[in-house]
Amino acid sequence: MQKRKLGKSNLEVSALGLGCMGMSFSYGPPADKREMISLLRTAVERGITFFDTAEVYGPYTNEELLGEALSPLRDRVVIATKFGFKLKPDGSPGFVGPNSRPERIKQVAEDSIKRLKVDAIDLFYQHRVDPNVPIEDVAGAVKELIQEGKVKHFGLSEAGAKTIRRAHSVQPVTAVQSEYSLWTRGPEAEVLPTLEELGIGFVPYSPLGKGFLTGKINESTTFDSTDFRNTLPRFTPEARKANQALVDLLGTIAQRKKATPAQIALAWLLAQKPWIVPIPGTTKLGRLEENIGAVAIELTSDDLREIESASAKIKVEGERYPEALQRMTGL
C-alpha cells in the first residue's frame, strides 16, 4: 500500500483510509461486531493504516469497536475521531445540535481516549463548525489538548475556507475532511486551493457517493428503514435515475481499464492531489479489497481529461443533505 502525507504535517498514512461509521450507524442495522473486528484487522494486514470514527457514530459504539479491534495493532495505525455535537440525553442515535464549547471538547477527548484504548488521539476533527463558538476558541482548546499530549493533530470537517484560515492561525490544521467525489465537487472552488496554500491535507468522505458510484444502486433499489439515505434528496428514485449518467461514465472508463466503477471513482480522487486520502467505508471484505485495488490504477492525463469533459455535461440532481443538515456544511 502506498503512503501519503497529510499536507505539510508529518502525519503519514496509507493512500486509502477506512471510514468506519457504517459498521455501527446510518447504513441500516449495526453489523456483527466479531465480523467487523475481523474486517478491521484484515484492513491493517492489507496495508490500511488510517481509520476514521466519531463519538456520534452509535453514539459511542463505533469508537468502542475500533478500540477493541485495533488496540493490539496500535503501533501500526492512525485513528481519527471527532467532537462537536450535542448528543441526545437518552443515548439514542443522532444529535440535537452542535456543541464545540472548549469544556465539551476536552471532555469528549477524555472519553474518546478511553473508548479507543489509546494514550492520545492521532487526529481530532471538529465534526461540524459550531456557529455559537468562535473557531479560535475551538482551535485553542485543541491546542491545549495537544500541549497536554492527549491529541496529536487537529482537523476540521465540512469547514469553509475562511474558517480554515482562522483556525489554522491559532493551531495548525493537519487535515480537513469533507464530502468530495465525482458527484460532490464543492470543495474545488475555495477549500482545495486554501488547503494547498496552507499545506493542509484533505480527507474526502463518501468518496463513492454513499455507495451510488459503485454502480450497485439504481432507481429501484430499496434501503433498510434505518438507512439514512432514505432521507437524502440525492437518493430519491427520481434523482437516482437522473444521476445514473455519472455511473455510466465511470463504467465506460472502468471497462477500458479492466477495473470497477468504484475503483475509477477512487483513482480519480487520488489523482487530484498527492495530499488527498479518501476514506471509503464498507462492512464487506470483498469491497475492502476492491477499494484497495484502486490505489494501483493509473489514470492518464487523457483519462482525466475525458472524465472531466464528460462529467461537466452531467448535472447532478438533488442536494447532499436535507436543509437542516445542509446548513451545517461549509461554514
Kindly report, residue by residue over 116-162, the tens digit of the pLDDT: 999 999 999 999 999 999 999 999 999 999 999 999 999 999 999 99
What is the Cα–Cα distance from 262 to 316, expressed in whole angstroms?
18
Write down the pLDDT at residue 218.
94
pLDDT of 328: 87
User: Can you give the residue ranges of every domain in the chain?
Assistant: 3-209+272-297
**Spatial distance between the Cα atoms of 246 and 239, rounded to a whole number of angstroms:** 12
Rounded to an integer, what is the distance from CA 192 to the centroid of its chain?
Answer: 15
Q: Is 57 a catalytic residue?
A: yes
DSSP code of residue 276: B
Give the residue from 133, 140, 200 showing the smallest Cα distance to 164.
200
**CA nearest to 236, candidates 316, 325, 145, 154:** 316
- Averaged pLDDT, 250-271: 97
Q: What is the pLDDT of residues 7-60, one digit of tens each?
A: 999 999 999 999 999 999 999 899 999 999 999 999 999 999 999 999 999 999
| Given 27, 57, 180, 321, the catalytic residue | 57
Share of the chain above pLDDT 90, in %: 96
Tell me, yes or no, if the pTM score tops 0.95: yes
Superfamily holding 3-209+272-297: NADP-dependent oxidoreductase domain (3.20.20.100)
Name the 3-class secondary structure at 123.
strand
- Which of 127, 117, 110, 119 shows the shortest CA–CA distance to 64? 117
CB atoms within 10 A of CB 309: 9
